[in-house]
Amino acid sequence: MRRYGGFFLIFFSLHAAAVEVIVNRGVAGTSLAQASARALFGMRLAKWPDGRPVQVFVLPDDHPAHIALCKEQLNIYPYQLRQSWDRLVYSGLAQAPIEVATEEALISRVATTPGALGYVRKVKQNDPVKVLHVVE
């Protein structure tokens, strides 16, 4: 039974690594509650617990990493995120996340923007960003 448990743990870890939430290295902490992650990516929360402003970077709606972020880390569908952004942005209640075209560009924007939050499928060892684990 324990062997199966180990197997499931490995399987789960691989599965969870389909997309990783990344932040600028100046952002404190190592994990993020799923509710907070939804609020941050949903543009409902504009600052980190230490009071510094958040800057969200995203990939296009149909990018595999974006779909994986929504479904696996935030547990929502991409269309829902799009609808909440549009509702906020066109009534003036919040700003939109900044969209970049590629994961390389996203890493570079997150690395150079204080308070930045984003996601990529795989963070390499020497990428100048920090990974935050989303916990349910």
The contact set with another protein (CB under 8 A) reads 33-36, 38-39, 44-47, 49, 51-54, 58, 60, 74-77, 79-80, 83-84, 86-87, 89-99, 136
* CA 111/CA 128 separation, integer angstroms: 6
Residue among 11 and 77 whose Cβ is closer to another protein: 77
Q: 126 or 136, CB closer to another protein?
A: 136
Identity of the residue, 97 or 118, whose beta carbon is nearer to another protein in the bound complex: 97
Smallest gap from Cβ 32 to another protein, in A, equals: 10
- CA-only gyration radius of the chain, Å: 15
CA distance 29 to 80: 27
CB of 68 to another protein, least distance (A): 14
Helix (H, G, I), strand (E, B) or coil at 35: helix
Q: How many CB atoms lie within 10 A of CB 51?
A: 6
CB of 119 vs another protein, minimal distance in Å: 15
φ and ψ of 128, to 5 deg: -80, 50
